[in-house]
Every structure is written in structure tokens, then in C-alpha cells.
Amino acid sequence: NKVHNCCPTCRRDLGDIRCLALEEVAESLEVPCKYQNLGCHDIFPYYGKLKHEQHCWFRPYKRPYAASDCSVTGDIPTLVAHLKDDHKVFNCFGRKFCLHFEAFRLRRAPVYMAFLRLMGDDNEAKRFSYSLEVSANGRKLIWQGIPRSIRDSSRKVRESLDGPVIQRNLALFFLVVIDES
């Protein structure tokens, strides 16, 4: 930065060149995972570190609700404590789950989608199954599926359509109207 891509001695433009010697030095370096403070004690070759960090077991979980202003990140205990206080989380088989209900547009049509998330990774989520039932006014829809990991973004789940997707006109059949007269 200080030499502005110019030789500090003769001030000629250095161009777009690579320093193979420094690249070899970088290859020989071993560095800790950036999530070391969260519990990862692994050490990696410099160029393998980034790949590891994308899948590190200790990387913080991101906010589970896409449409909310919630910006909480952290490990599972931190996220569960927050979700218990501010969102709907329930216990089942000693694990924590949360039910998501999202509205979005699918090919310009308003739709609703529900899905269940496990506070854990994808391999743990695949060990469970669930049944979701929506019923009102003499109508019933049942969805059976496998919960998604909290690691999966809401966008990824929406794009996979891995949950009951209900068009707005169909959702109106399940609307419970309370007459206060």
C-alpha cells in the first residue's frame, strides 16, 4: 500500500506480478482457525484454513429468522437462550427445535411456507422426522418431513421448497374468523 504498486527504489510500475517465494512461504505456514476463541483448536496450512472455516463445527450460527430485524449470532447455547426469550423454541427428545412460518413470493404469487429447524447440524437433523398439521374450518393439510439444520439459511430452505407451500387463496380456507358480535 505504501509504495502504490511502484518500486520503492526506482519508482517504476511493478505491474501485476506474483511473488512465488512469498507464496511458498505462505504454503509452509500453519495457522489456527479463526473460531479458536469459540472452541476450535485445529491448526491448518495457510491455504486450507479458509475452506475449514466455511464448515467449522465451532463457527457461529446466524440469525434463524430471515425477515426479522434479529441480528443475533453465536454458538448453540447463546442462540437457544435468545430464541427462548424472543422467539418460539420447544424441546423434544432432549433437543431444541423452532417452527418457522414465512411469507414470500413465488413467481410473483404470495405464498406461505412452514418448516421445522433443529438447533444443530445437518447430520443431527436427519435423525429426526416431523409431521406438521394445519387444520381449520373442516379442512386439513399434513406435511411430513425432516427438520432442517439451523445452519441452513431461510433462503436455502425457501428455494428448496422443503416444507408445505400454501398459496394465499388456499391459506384463506384456514383462516379462523372470530365474530365479536
Burial of 31 (0-12, 13-18, 19+ CB in 10 A): middle
pLDDT > 90 fraction of the chain, expressed in percent and rounded: 15
From residue 19, give the alpha-carbon distance in Å to each of 10, 14, 24, 80, 161. Answer: 19, 11, 9, 47, 47
50 and 83 housed in the same domain: no
Instruction: Write down the mean pLDDT value for the chain.
Output: 80
Sequence-ordered list of residues with C-beta below 8 angstroms from that of 47, at least 6 positions apart, any chain: 26, 27
The pLDDT confidence band at residue 181, using thresholds 50, 70 and 90, is: very low
pTM for the whole thing?
A: 0.58
pLDDT at position 142 is 92
pLDDT tens digits for range 29-82? 889 999 888 888 899 888 888 888 888 878 876 655 554 556 667 776 776 666
Instruction: Give which of 76, 49, 81 is closest to 62, Cα–Cα.
Output: 76
In a domain, 26, yes or no: yes
Residue 63 counted as domain residue? no
What is the pLDDT, as a whole number, of residue 87? 62
Which stretch, 14-28, 72-86, 161-175, has highest mean pLDDT?
161-175
Residue 145 belongs to some domain of the structure: yes
Q: What is the mean pLDDT of residues 15-20?
A: 76
Q: Are 88 and 152 members of one domain?
A: yes
pLDDT of residue 146: 95
Are 117 and 47 found together in one domain?
no
The three cell numbers locating residue 123: 447430520
Provide the domain count of the chain: 2
Assess contact for 128 and 93: CB atoms under 8 A. Answer: yes
User: Would 28 be classed as within a structural domain?
Assistant: yes
- CA distance linking residue 46 with residue 25, whole number of Å: 10
Give me the mean pLDDT over the 94-98 stretch.
Answer: 88
Confidence (pLDDT) at 178: 47
